[in-house]
Structure 1
Amino acid sequence: MQRNTTSRARLLAAAEQVFYERGITRTNIDTVARAAKATKPTVYAHFASKSALAAGALEARQRRIAADLAAHLADVEPGTPRLTAVFDWLATLYEHANGRGCAFLNAAAESPADEAVTAAVRGEKLWLLGVLRELCAEAGYDRPDELASQLLLLIDGVAARVLVHGPGEAGAATTAAARAADALLTSAAHGHGAP
């Protein structure tokens, strides 16, 4: 039986928004169904459980964010400028998110025992780490794995600040992380001979 992909996409979009705004644990399937203008049986026709729906919504968000970052970096000069552009993108992302910070870290904090949600969160973090590693290698930095990990710690630090202190902290946290990234990249360039 082929499922209606439009219904599935509508459910994922609604779940992504509602879970982000209200939290996964505080949101029931009925709320998602109402937001998607669907019935509860329709939700379960596409997703075996709330956990599967939450993981699917996170994976959909990750694909959208990946496309957005790729578009943001497409016109940026290769090398270190692309790495610093990731922090510009992050600032824009938080500015337009108008919400609760990083959906992935929020989900991990809310659902630590949920294997499907945890796998989706890990998938997003591995994707971003891979992007940063590729950009570090492209820029000619030695030890791109280590540098990418350090940059991801800065990005996750922004998310943690927003999670703890609220979205009003996003601008200051992103600016501080960008400055720290600049210092880290300068140190890596002097210590390891990046261009």
Structure 2
Amino acid sequence: MSPRRSARNQLVTSAEEVFYHRGFAATAVDTVAQEAGVSKPTLYAHFSGKSDLAATALRHRHAEAAEELEEWLAGVEDPADRPSAVFSWLAHRYESKGGRGCAFLNAAAEVVDPEDPVRQAVLGEKRWLRELLTTLCAQAGAPAPERIASQLLLLVDGVAGRVVVEGPQAAARAVADAADAAAVLLGAGRR
């Protein structure tokens, strides 16, 4: 890997961690550059500014989570069980990487300009998740899969809200409650 590519990758990885743990507004690009072990001019050689860097970091986080979730779902044989399996994956994700809730919702709370690249990254991730849930619900035989998927996404986002408000110790209970509610929604949809 070339040093230029390596510096970019290090910036993205560091930005993902720093923005997630410290917040977007509260974190200067100098901090990200320092954490990445690169100079500020190197940062600007790769990114046009803080929003560009943060959006790239969010897209990186999304790609990692999407791959992880798709692998998780591939291990679920019965299509009827896959929508619920999203919640078991969510429990795993919060346990391993989710101490501050959803990075995308946190970013959306801080960046309100709909044209900002950060906001666009958030919209893209939420659109992807809703589409995935819609597909899973359709494959599970749920009537009105778009509607149930939207309701499931509200549960997913509700877990994130609970974690932001109550801290990471609330994640397990919040996911369990959301999974119970998801089972009711999915069960009602099959009747």
Q: What TM-score bracket applies, with the shorter chain setting the length?
A: over 0.9
Q: How many angstroms apart in 2 are the aligned matches of 1:99 and 1:75?
A: 25
Q: Does 1:168 align with 2:169?
A: yes
Q: Residue in 1 aligned with 2:92?
A: 92
* Identity within the alignment, %: 51
Gap runs ≥5 in structure 2: none
Q: Kindly tell me: are residues 100 and 81 of structure 1, through their superposed partners in 2, closer, same or farther at Cα, counting changes over 3 Å?
A: same
Q: CA deviation at 1:21?
A: 0.5
Q: Residue in 1 aligned with 2:58?
A: 58
User: What is the letter of the counterpart of residue 143 of structure 2?
Assistant: D
Q: Residue in 1 aligned with 2:141?
A: 140
Gap runs ≥5 in structure 1: 191-195
Q: How many angstroms apart in 1 are the aligned matches of 2:77 and 2:84?
A: 11
Q: How many angstroms apart in 1 are the aligned matches of 2:3 and 2:137?
A: 42
- What SS class does the counterpart of residue 4 from structure 1 fall into? helix
2:99 and 2:163 in contact (8 A); partners too: no
**Counterparts of residues 1-195 of structure 1 (less than 5 Å):** 4-97=4-97, 99-113=99-113, 115-190=116-191
TM-score by length of 2: 0.95
Q: CA deviation at 1:3?
A: 8.8
TM-score by length of 1: 0.93
> For this pair of structures, how many residues does the alignment match?
189
Q: How many angstroms apart in 1 are the aligned matches of 2:69 and 2:24?
A: 25
User: What is the letter of the counterpart of residue 142 of structure 1?
Assistant: P
Q: How many angstroms apart in 1 are the aligned matches of 2:98 and 2:81?
A: 27
1:3 and 1:46 in contact (8 A); partners too: no
- What SS class does the counterpart of residue 73 from structure 1 fall into? helix
Instruction: Tell me the alpha carbon deviations over residues 135-179 of structure 1, each in whole angstroms, 9 at most, x when there is no partner.
Output: 011111121111110100110010111112211111111000000
C-alpha RMSD of matched pairs (Å): 1.4
Instruction: Tell me the alpha carbon deviations over residues 39-78 of structure 1, each in whole angstroms, 9 at most, x when there is no partner.
Output: 1011101100101101110010000000000111111113
